[in-house]
Amino acid sequence: MKRKFIEILGETFLRLSIIISLIFLFLFLFMIFSKGIKVISWEFLTRMPRSGMTKGGIYPAILGTFWITIVSIFIAFPIGIFSGIFLSEYGKPKWLVDIIKTSINTLSGTPSIVFGLFGLSVFVIGLNLKVSILSGGLTLAILILPTIINSTVEAINSVPFDFREAALSLGATKSQVIRNVVLPYAMPGILTGTIISVGRAAGETAPILFTAATFYSRRLPKSLMDEVMAMPYHIYALMTEGTSPQYQIPIAYGTAIVLLILILFINGSAIFLRYRIRKRRG
Amino acid sequence: MKTKEFLFKYVSFLAASLSILFLLGIILSIFKEGIPLFKEINVFDFIFGRRWHPTDEPPDFGILSLIIGSISVTIGALIVGVPLGVGSAIYVSEIASSNAKEILKPFIEILAGIPSVIYGLFGMNILAPIVRKIFNIPIGLNIFSTSIILGIMIIPFVSSLSEDALRSVSKDVREASYALGANRIETIFKVIVPAALPGIIASIILGFGRAIGETMVVLMVSGGTATIPSSIFSPVRPMTSAIASEMGETVKGSLHFQALYGIAIVLLIITLLSNLLMQWFVSREKNEKKIY
């Protein structure tokens, strides 16, 4: 009797813990959407802000997030793929690989604000890149690099060994095998990790606080050396700066909706892509 | 042909080495900007000083209240997030049908993908007013509200690492337990969870690292008062929050600027240690698996 009771209690607890998480997720999404949906319009997406951020759209923030994210992926993607190739295909000497792996794990556990301070010290001040798209993009590139490397390693390790051996036995060199056999097979997996990184880069605030973002700019960015508005920072700034919260808060929720939809779409496509890969390979 | 092979290998090697360079760069740059502070203030006064008044004349740079702020919201986050995260992981890996698993896992991943600033917005503008009303307290921006949001934020991280650990427990162990007449819950809590314990501990340490390093949520929800809290409804100013909110007002090279980098040194040391500890637990788990 007591055993049965404990069993029911235990299962209820386990079931509840996932139900609570799910309820929170839906409540969270519902509240954000219901508070911000009324400001969403075509103009909101395509116009400049007006009257000291209390009216108008968030076009420059969307554009800023776009550019910072593009720059970071552009830098992190090639470095990530080549790193992954080295770790899983060459993998020698072992001590070096161990150091590299530890570095990657440590990087991925470093707080995002520390990346921001690093970017401020090295890119903004040290290399004199100023507060700019480039400084922010570089900072975010290092932040997302571990994710891209790890997904590359994982994807490459899932390539069946026969493929490599078949290619090698046909006289292909190691780099030919990697480029023509391993990478094409691993690419969907690598892309899944990269897409998730895109979502991460687009949503991060702390790393761009001092390296790229500004609350208000009168014009759209013209070069990589311009500081920009960005959606995550815009949400924060609207909630904590300025003098008209009654107008700013709805715009903050509106911006949050745009950012959320963007990221849900990005992560959704990564999840879908991975589902397809698994299905194809049984 | 030969050169092409060499070049490809060399480029891969260089790319991989960049990770070491970036990590060293982060550590060195933070120390380089922060260390000069300790010519003016000794380390002991910095860490155990109770007064954080960086803009007063003369200024006080004691970060004890900031450290306690960070630790209190982190403990709160673990209290909320660990049972839910580990519980979800056990449910997904041991109880849910494979169809339910297929649906549940993406939802947990979506939770992981939500930008922290939107959690911050939710905590600041939706949760805090509710907390204030329910507990009838003057401010809803406090340790309690921050812990709830941070706790929910770490669920996906705790859950995914725990699940890896649970999944790698060998099937034989489970079947042996059932064969001895244990029911599902007894098998889970007396056999599977102990076998996966190193991995579950690693997931808790991961959650700790995430929570103590999180910036936007604490910046928006913790209230920002740099005093030693007297209850869970006190506002606090965790380390990350002080760095993020004050850096904009400082002049490069000033004492205040250096002090904020000094806080980052403390934060970096805490996260480096917790990271190494986590990796140790993960590797221990892998080693144990080889025995079976």
Could you tell me the residue ranges of all domains in chain A? 40-281
The size of the A-B interface in CB pairs under 8 A is: 259
Of A21, A99, A110, the CB nearest to B108: A21
Q: What backbone torsions phi and psi does residue B127 show, to the nearest 5 degrees?
A: -70, -45
B128: pLDDT confidence band, cut at 50, 70 and 90?
Answer: very high
The C-alpha atoms of residue B177 and residue B84 are separated, in whole angstroms, by: 25
Q: Which of A13, A83, A175 lies at the smallest CB-CB distance from B16?
A: A83
Q: Exposed e or buried b for every residue in A132-159, given b needs 16+ CB within 10 A?
A: bbbbbbbbbbbbbbbbbbbbbbbbbeeb
For residue B42, give how far its alpha carbon lies from the nearest alpha carbon of chain A (Å).
22
Nearest-CB residue to B84 (from A20, A206, A256): A20
Cβ-in-10-Å burial (0-12, 13-18, 19+) of A202 comes to buried
Q: Report d(CA A200, CA A140) in Å as an integer.
A: 9
C-alpha distances (whole Å) from B202 to each of A151, B151, B163, B206 are 20, 16, 11, 6
Tell me how far apart the alpha carbons of residues B195 and B157 are, in angstroms, rounded to a whole number: 20
Confidence at residue A65, expressed as pLDDT on a 0 to 100 scale: 95
The number of angstroms, rounded, from the C-alpha of A51 to the middle of its chain's C-alpha atoms is: 32
Q: Tell me the pLDDT of chain B averaged across its residues.
A: 92
Sign of CA dihedral A78, A205, B114, A53: negative
Indicate yes or no: CB of A259 within 8 angstroms of CB of B252.
no
Does residue B135 or residue B102 have the better pLDDT?
B135
* B 36-75: CB under 8 A from A: none
Residues of chain A contacting residue B90, judged by C-beta atoms under 8 Å apart: 14
3-state secondary structure of A49: strand
Cβ-Cβ contacts under 8 Å, A89 against chain B: 12
Question: Which of the 8 DSSP states describes residue A159?
Answer: S
Using CA atoms, how far residue B270 sits from A111, A121, B73, B96, in Å, is 10, 21, 15, 36
Q: Is B148 exposed, middle or buried (0-12, 13-18, 19+ CB in 10 A)?
A: buried
Which tens digit of pLDDT belongs to each residue from B153-182? 999 999 999 999 998 888 888 888 889 988
User: Chain B interface, mutation test: which of A21, A34, A65, most B Cβ atoms within 10 Å?
Assistant: A21
Using the beta-carbon criterion (under 8 Å), do A112 and B215 form an inter-chain contact? yes
How far does the CA of residue B16 sit from the closest CA of chain A (Å)?
4
Q: Count CB neighbours of A91 within 10 A.
A: 14
Q: Is B215 on the interface with A (CB under 8 A)?
A: yes
Parts of chain A with a pLDDT under 70? 52-53, 282
Q: Which CATH superfamily is domain B35-291 in?
A: MetI-like (1.10.3720.10)
Residues of B in contact with A24 (CB under 8 A): 111, 152
A157 touches chain B (CB under 8 A): no
**Residue A114 is nearest to which of B30, B188, B279, comparing CB atoms?**
B30
CB B91 within 8 A of CB A18: yes
Q: Backbone dihedral region of A221: left (phi > 0), alpha (psi from -120 to 50 degrees) or beta?
A: beta
Q: Is A74 exposed, middle or buried (0-12, 13-18, 19+ CB in 10 A)?
A: exposed
- Cβ contact A11–B247 (<8 Å): no
Fold category of A40-281 in CATH: MetI-like fold (1.10.3720)
Give the best residue of B117, B152, B161 to mutate against chain A (max A CB count within 10 A): B117
Give percent of chain B with pLDDT exceeding 90. Answer: 71
Q: Is there a contact between B267 and A114 if contact means CB atoms under 8 Å apart?
A: yes
Q: What is the pLDDT of residue A32?
A: 95
Residue A196's pLDDT is 92
A170 interfaces chain B, CB cutoff of 8 Å: no
* Residue B35: pLDDT over 60: yes
Identify the pLDDT of residue B161: 92
What residue type is B104 in one-letter code?
L
Q: Cβ A204–B115 below 8 Å, yes or no?
A: yes
d(CA B191, CA A35): 47
Residue B72 near residue B78 (C-beta atoms within 8 A): no
Token pair 């880069």 in the structure block, residue: A201
pLDDT surpasses 70 at B1:
no
Q: Name every chain A residue with its beta carbon within 8 A of the beta carbon of B92.
A: 18
Inter-CA distances, B104 with A78, A153, B150, B184, Å: 33, 26, 21, 21
Return the domain boundaries, chain B: 35-291
Query: For chain B, how many residues are written?
Result: 292
Q: Is the pLDDT of residue B291 over 60?
A: no
- The residues, any chain, with a CB within 8 Å of residue A168's CB and separated by 6 or more, are A174, A177
Which of B17, B22, B84 has the CB atom closest to A21's CB atom? B84
User: B213 — contact with chain A (CB < 8 Å)?
Assistant: yes
pLDDT: is A171 or B133 the higher one?
A: B133
The answer to whether the beta carbons of residues A87 and A101 sit under 8 Å apart is yes
Tell me if chain B has a CB within 8 Å of the CB of A110. yes
pLDDT of residue B288: 61
* Beta strands at A49-50 and A55-56: parallel, antiparallel or unpaired: antiparallel
Does the pLDDT of residue B292 top 50, yes or no?
no
* Helices and strands in chain A, H and E counts: 11, 2
- Cα dihedral B66, B68, B69, B70 sign: positive
Token representation of residue A61: 């923030």
Interface check B190 vs A, CB under 8 A: no
Confidence band, pLDDT 50/70/90 cuts, at residue B289:
low
